[in-house]
Structure 1
Amino acid sequence: MLKREYTQMSESYMVGALLAVVGGYLDAYTYISRGKVFANAQTGNIVLMGLNFSQGNFSGTLHYLLPIIAFIVGVVISEAIKSRFRENSVIHWRQIVVAIEVFVLTAVAFVPNGSMNPIVNAAVSFVCALQFECFRKYTTTMCTGNLRSATEQLFIYKNTKNVQALTNSMQLYGIILFFILGVVLGTLLTNIFMEKAVLFSCIILAAVFGTMFIKDVR
């Protein structure tokens, strides 16, 4: 009898696609409703921080520095969770990360738009760092790496006719499309619901949390 092999659903394409939607959604949410700050794209925040600093706008510099620091903290916390709960047989350590994401984003929804936006942006960047660090098979919080890898795999397919390279390429381009879908949804829903719109991303994350209880049979 053949022995079935199980893989963790957190590394499945479906979970990657859902998280890419969340990644794009949160970028649109913070940019539109929380003072034009990117939740995921810390490169953009670093550039804007440098521009404000060079112009002597130190409050603007701090505005973009806080999410950068929060992103760093998020990476550290995610590694600590992984180290502490990696061998837990009851719940996967990535589910703990997703639960923290839902908790933080739910709290964010009830913070009014205004003077607390820098704290909110830091909280969302913290969440994005958790996701970026813990779900590595597909980059779901930014697109540059996926764009490079997808094109690289397409080039390999052109030269070698390796079908797996073509599959890899199409999957990565697909993740980019799901990210764009998240941006579109985030834009539409944030313009309607403003700060409460972040709750829709919690629904997707709850689906991801539940999905990870399923064993993916290979």
Structure 2
Amino acid sequence: MHQKQRQMSETFRLGALLTVVGGFLDTYTYLSRGGVFANAQTGNIVLLGLSLAQGNYEMLLHYLIPILAFAAGVMVTDMVRAHFRPRPAIHWRQLIVAAEFLILLMVAYVPPGRWDAAVNVAVSFVCAMQVESFRKIRGNAVATTMCTGNLRSGTALLFHGLHTRDRGALRQALQYYGIILFFILGAALGVWCTELLSGRAALVCCLLLLTAFCSMFIRVEEDASAS
């Protein structure tokens, strides 16, 4: 059977690990950092529009700043990719994971309260870097910090698989639903850890990211048909 070498960054196990981080950070910022979503900027955009409609103008920046931080994270990630992709010494995605680790390490030691806006900026920046860097699992487009696209893709593949009896499509659908499950588990873990550790709960994400960083030195063999 023909095999090809695939980078760890596109494997399900790494995608699942990063998805746990994504779900964790959403509940972490919402519960301990002023009710702001770190990942799903759609939620912040809706809250921004709601504040605008209600004349609650003092809250506009509260939601706008994380949105802008997310956009900045995407731009910085693309800059890192363009600069470091030709350099084989270390993969550019590992640099992104290392940056996520360092930023969240600093976040963990910022006490909840007056600096929550700055923390939300940092976490939104981290989530943008992650979603821009890790966009595929086994060749399929997947998001590790939000679920809407995964739910759409998984359900479309499920219908196609059932309708045409395509086992490959069914396997892909299960992959998407598995990622959604890991996001839910990450969100639940975020609730438990935030209730226990408050702002220091971000250290749990640091541990997960350290695991992800180390695992990316591994190269795996997969069937060419899995891409």
Name the TM-score, length of structure 2 as normaliser: 0.93
Aligned to 2:72: 73
> What displacement does 1:32 show?
0.4
Out of 187, 193, 205, the position equivalent to 2:191 is: 187
Q: How does 1:131-210 map to 2 (within 5 A)?
A: 131-137=130-136, 138-210=142-214
Kindly, what percent of the aligned residue pairs are identical? 53
Q: Deviations over 1:141-184 (max 9, x none)?
A: 00000000000000000111111100000000000000000000
Point out 4+ residue stretches in structure 1 off by more than 3 angstroms: none
Deviates most, 136-145 or 4-13: 4-13
Q: Deviations over 1:180-205 (max 9, x none)?
A: 00000000000010000011011011
Aligned to 2:84: 85
Q: Which runs of 5+ in 2 are unaligned?
A: 137-141, 223-227
Q: Which runs of 5+ in 1 are unaligned?
A: none
Q: Distance in 1 between matches of 2:4 and 2:42?
A: 40
> What displacement does 1:59 show?
2.0
Q: Deviations over 1:49-89 (max 9, x none)?
A: 11112222222111001100000000000000000011221
RMSD after superposition: 1.2
Q: Distance in 2 between matches of 1:186 and 1:166?
A: 30
Q: Distance in 2 between matches of 1:214 and 1:186?
A: 28
Go from structure 1 to structure 2 and tell me whether the alpha carbon gap of 1:3 and 1:168 turns closer, same or farther (over 3 Å shift): closer
Aligned length: 217
Q: Distance in 2 between matches of 1:78 and 1:161?
A: 40
> What SS does the aligned partner of 1:40 have?
coil
> What displacement does 1:5 show?
2.6
